A and B are shown apart, each in its own frame.
Chain A
Amino acid sequence: MASDSRRAKLWDLPVRLIHWSFVVLLPLLWWTAENGEMDLHMTLGLVMLGLVVFRVLWGLVGSSTARFASFVRGPITVISYLRGLSKSESETSAGHNPAGGWSVVLLLGLLAVDVGLGLIAQNVDGVTGSLNYLVSYDQAEQATELHELGFNILLAVIVLHIAAILFYTFVKKDRLVPPMITGSKDLPTAVTTPVMAPAWRILPCLLIAAALTWWVSIGAPTSLEQFNAPPPVDASEYM
């Protein structure tokens, strides 16, 4: 990098950990479903739920580059950004660009929807997500089909995501992957330094995400009576 740049922290640890967890979890979720390892599939699905919830909370109170408010832009900004893509300008702000911001929302949204559908899905062996008992058989059938469709849509968006990253790496000569691993990047001096959130904020976000996930995993009881009821029959008993 030229001398008119300096090394700065771009992505904080939660953003990076969550990102690479997605990359590991998604193939595992696919594999466990394909191979009938439904017990593990549901456990990993709940982990995915926890990660998505945490990332959404972190999008509200995390570091500046993690916040939705900092990277979700209006359509005019997005279009003028995309028009300018062919020019070889250097970046004007740190973090997700106007187009990338929407792909983050899309990816997180699709993950959230698909986890939600998985929670009410069922298979012919009577293996069910922890909220399946709240919906009818036919609703669950539909949710199960959408759960599969949702995964395929997610795959398509991920292909696009990776294609975009390759485009930046090789065409725009902007290597996005190393900062997603190390957290730091050489930023032009004209760009304001991202503000990292204090580490303690991880704790409340983690607690909320874990509590919500646990509550969903026991069937989302809404009364104390329901809460104190014996746990639901564990499908793994006969698998």
Chain B
Amino acid sequence: MNRKITAIAALTLGLASAAVYAAKPADIIAARQANFKVIGKSFKGIMDEMRKPAPDMAMIKASANALAGGSSKVSGYFPKGSGPEAGAKTHALPAIWAKNADFKKSAANLVAASKKMQLAANSNNIDTVKAAFPALGGTCKGCHDQFKAKD
């Protein structure tokens, strides 16, 4: 029984990783841009509430959760071959792979800042959210300046 489960688990894992490798670069690029849109929307969701006299903490929490979810996926969306050489329209710069350690660090910074934002949102205190916001925004700009082509 246990063996069977292990075998199925191994098979599933194998298939799943094979699926990632088999995915066309264009599909990966599209999925990664959709993920960044989710990040952008939830980022704006938090910012919009902060501007209101009576911010909706539930909205902030939902946005912070979506933001953290999207952020944790970022680094996985940049396999080798999904840069400008893929032929699909992308703003990803070759520097992502040339300086991959720096890029990974940038992505990790985003994950950390988005988790802090989640904690801040759960505190139910808008001032805590506001305090966590600049650091989060800094991670976007920090990475885009180095690794994303301008429009």
Chain B: minimal CB distance from A40 (Å): 15
Which chain A residues numbered 122 to 144 have a C-beta less than 8 Å away from chain B?
122, 124-126, 128, 132-133, 137, 140
Asked if A125 contacts B144 (CB within 8 A), the reply is yes
A interface, size bucket: 20 to 34
Given known contacts A124-B140, A125-B137, A238-B135, A232 and B51 CB-to-CB distance under 8 angstroms: yes
- On chain A, the residues within 8 Å of B48 by CB distance are 133
| Chain B facing A: main interface SS | helix
Asked if B144 contacts A233 (CB within 8 A), the reply is no
A239 at the interface (CB under 8 A from B): yes
- On chain A, the residues within 8 Å of B41 by CB distance are 137
Asked if B53 contacts A225 (CB within 8 A), the reply is yes
- On chain B, the residues within 8 Å of A232 by CB distance are 50-51
Question: Out of B43, B130, B145, B148, which one reaches A126, CB within 8 Å?
Answer: B43
A77 at the interface (CB under 8 A from B): no
B138 at the interface (CB under 8 A from A): yes
A237 at the interface (CB under 8 A from B): yes
Asked if B50 contacts A137 (CB within 8 A), the reply is no
B47 at the interface (CB under 8 A from A): yes
Which chain B residues numbered 100 to 141 have a C-beta less than 8 Å away from chain A?
130, 133-135, 137-138, 140-141
Complex: A106 Cα to B137 Cα, angstroms: 38
Q: List residues of chain B with CB under 8 Å of any chain A CB.
A: 36-37, 40-41, 43-44, 47-48, 50-54, 130, 133-135, 137-138, 140-141, 144-145, 148, 151
- On chain B, the residues within 8 Å of A140 by CB distance are 44
- On chain B, the residues within 8 Å of A156 by CB distance are none
Asked if B53 contacts A233 (CB within 8 A), the reply is no
Asked if B140 contacts A126 (CB within 8 A), the reply is yes
Chain B: minimal CB distance from A46 (Å): 17
- On chain B, the residues within 8 Å of A239 by CB distance are 141
Asked if A238 contacts B134 (CB within 8 A), the reply is yes
A219 at the interface (CB under 8 A from B): yes
Chain A: minimal CB distance from B33 (Å): 11
Asked if A124 contacts B40 (CB within 8 A), the reply is yes
Chain B: minimal CB distance from A85 (Å): 41
A226 at the interface (CB under 8 A from B): yes
A229 at the interface (CB under 8 A from B): yes
Which chain A residues numbered 98 to 141 have a C-beta less than 8 Å away from chain B?
122, 124-126, 128, 132-133, 137, 140
- On chain A, the residues within 8 Å of B54 by CB distance are 225
Q: Give 21 CB contacts A-B under 8 Å.
A: A124-B36, A124-B40, A125-B137, A125-B140, A125-B141, A126-B40, A126-B43, A126-B47, A126-B137, A126-B140, A128-B44, A133-B48, A133-B51, A137-B41, A137-B44, A148-B151, A223-B53, A225-B54, A226-B53, A233-B51, A237-B137
